[in-house]
Amino acid sequence: MDSAAKIAGAKDGSGSASGAGTVGKALEVLDQVATFGRPVRFGELLAVSRFPKATLYRFVQTLTAEGMLTFDIERQTYSLGVRLVRLAHAAWETSSLAPVARQHLDELSARVGETVHLAQLDHASVLYVDKVNAREPLPMYSQAGKVGPAYCTGVGKAMLAFLPQRELDVVIGQQSFHRFTPNTVISEFALRTELEAIRDQGFAFDREEHEPGIICVAMPIRTERGRVLGALSVTSSTSRTTLQALEVHVPAIRATARAISEEAVQWRFPDTVPI
Amino acid sequence: MDSAAKIAGAKDGSGSASGAGTVGKALEVLDQVATFGRPVRFGELLAVSRFPKATLYRFVQTLTAEGMLTFDIERQTYSLGVRLVRLAHAAWETSSLAPVARQHLDELSARVGETVHLAQLDHASVLYVDKVNAREPLPMYSQAGKVGPAYCTGVGKAMLAFLPQRELDVVIGQQSFHRFTPNTVISEFALRTELEAIRDQGFAFDREEHEPGIICVAMPIRTERGRVLGALSVTSSTSRTTLQALEVHVPAIRATARAISEEAVQWRFPDTVPI
DNA sequence: CGGAGTGGTTCCATTATTCGGAACTCGGTT
DNA sequence: AACCGAGTTCCGAATAATGGAACCACTCCG
């Protein structure tokens, strides 16, 4: 059993790692508030929570006192607190590729004239950690900090394709396949087949699989020994270009990926041991 | 005693709200990791922590299992985890002015050709929640998320000036005056005098008080009833312009502040009751 | 080669915290 | 006036956290 799995799995054999200790439960409440995406009343929280009233009440009290939630006294609603924003800024700076990659992304975006994404794998999903807009930005779902599915985005597939077998199995097991567009691949077999192709050619396409009209070509960012650090993509829309036209940027993307990798390895993600 | 103070103070009379319950302690550990600003070894953490080895160990284990920390198995280091980034994105979207203000900031920046900041008050300090650069408009909290002092920044003073008396007293009491530059105002009396002037003229200057060479003109964002939601500023450097030149932008800034306020009140910060 | 030192991990009896059912308070409604 | 539901407080029982000490795996000496 490898380390990632060990940490993620933790505890006994039970499925969910969350919610065990007191802090786990508190964080679960925090997540509940987050998923509402808006200020939320105590009662609403109670409705979706597995905790009894008194217990939940104490949790929100504690979280509020700690600055992880804020309470609007007038509207009687809770929202995520500013302490989170502060923490996240630190997280973004220390444990993402973004600070290292920023400059390279800018250059790539300027060179190809399209939007560029930088993403990392967070358990089973894709976390966009940075984004550089093209001259005229297209409205689309992704934004730094957002998460998306791994099995139907360019960056997601690019990373999956180069995961070691065992990790890949775990991650694929965690995907909940959903048909976002007519092009979404929702069979595990089809996905595995495509990942093989990606492994061969070294990059991945998104053929409007996640959002209609949005296409991209993506490439993993890997260390010399092959460990996957993240992925980057050049994204555009069918109204503006085609996959064939995007494919000409592959060499530029590859160069960017390599540059980021080299800098990252030196800087923060040293690669002493193969997986 | 008003609501903010009540919540912040909480618990018994003891000074620090943090570190009381188990979750408080866990969050304290999280903060420790954050302040390192880099991947950190267990031992380093132990050195700055008030907890005994076994206890601290359990905390980092828990936090790692919960995804708030990540553990680099090779280098044996802990960093802030991705779950934090996800939460923070939600926090940023739901409880900051940024999503509402974004478009207005872009327009203002384009119009005046300078960098524009959006900030909110977080207890005693200024939290920058968004920033639009003069040349390349880069959204997202790469820069946002930073905190600064309230008493010697344009946005800070702009907000302080329009705080209700009682809150102002609390916040001023929490300032730790430090002379960043020769121009920094470090006397409470001088600060209060300047705040009065700001209240009269409706906007604040930063005369290289926080960073040498950096000047700005800032204005609060307030509801109709006068409640302070945040502040915005147009920032430049002495090498490029002067305060007098920046002052001509005041009408544009005022218009932007008003536009943001109107939208914010409708959208998320309704203002049913005066302070 | 043995032994002391360093950094990290596990055990487990003790102790402090959390849990949560029930009772209560406070606006607003019938 | 009685009722109702959302929100808040209490307190004995149940549970989880605590941390000293032992342990493990290395490494660095003499």
Chain-chain contact of A82 with B20 (C-beta, under 8 angstroms): no
State pLDDT tens for residues A151-169: 999 999 999 999 999 889 9
User: CB-based contacts with strand C under 7 Å?
Assistant: A 22, 25, 51-55, 58-59, 62; B 21-23, 41-43, 46, 53-54, 57, 76
State pLDDT tens for residues B91-139: 877 767 888 888 898 889 888 988 899 998 877 889 888 877 765 444 3
What percentage of residues in chain A have a pLDDT greater than 90? 41
Q: Closest nucleotide to A52's CA, by C1' atom?
A: C20
Q: What pLDDT shows up at residue A143? A: 62
Widest CA span of chain A, in angstroms? 60
pLDDT class of B160 with cuts at 50, 70, 90: very high
Q: Which of B44, B46, B60 is nearest to A23 (CA)?
A: B60
Average pLDDT over residues B166-193: 92
Q: Which of A159, A152, A103 is nearest to A132 (CA)?
A: A103
Q: What pLDDT shows up at residue A275? A: 30
Mean pLDDT of chain B: 82
State pLDDT tens for residues A81-98: 878 877 877 777 776 788
Phi then psi for B223, rounded to 5 degrees?
-75, 175
Unique residue bearing structure tokens 């960012």: A221
**Beta sheet of B125-132, edge-to-edge order:** B147-149, B125-132, B115-122, B228-237, B214-222, B204-207
In terms of pLDDT, which residue wins out, B196 or A75? B196
C1' (D23) to CA (B1) span, angstroms? 54
Q: Where are the alpha helices (DSSP H) in B202-249?
A: 243-247
CB-contacted nucleotides of strand C (7 Å)? 7-11, 17-23
Please tell me the least confidently modeled range out of A139-148, B42-51, B219-228: A139-148
Q: Which of residues 94-153 of B touch A (CB under 8 A)?
A: 94-96, 120, 122-123, 127, 129, 136-142, 144-147
pLDDT over 60 (residue A176): yes
Option in A7, A90, A102 nearest B71 (CB)? A7
Mean pLDDT of chain A: 83
> Closest approach of chain B CAs to the CA of A228, in angstroms?
14
What percentage of residues in chain A have a pLDDT greater than 70? 85
Average pLDDT over residues A58-67: 89
Chain-chain contact of B3 with A85 (C-beta, under 8 angstroms): no
| Angle subtended at Cα A257 by Cα A167 and Cα A204, rounded to the nearest 5 degrees | 60
Average pLDDT over residues A123-143: 68
pLDDT class of A134 with cuts at 50, 70, 90: low
Phi then psi for A97, rounded to 5 degrees?
-75, -15
pLDDT over 90 (residue A247): yes
Task: Determine the protein residue whose CA lies at the shortest distance from the C1' of C10.
Answer: B54
pLDDT over 50 (residue B11): no
Average pLDDT over residues A207-219: 95
User: Tokens standing for B161?
Assistant: 């000036």
Q: What pLDDT shows up at residue B274? A: 35
pLDDT class of A268 with cuts at 50, 70, 90: low
Highest mean pLDDT out of A132-141, A205-214, B47-56 = A205-214
pLDDT class of B35 with cuts at 50, 70, 90: confident
pLDDT class of B75 with cuts at 50, 70, 90: confident
> Closest approach of chain B CAs to the CA of A81, in angstroms?
7
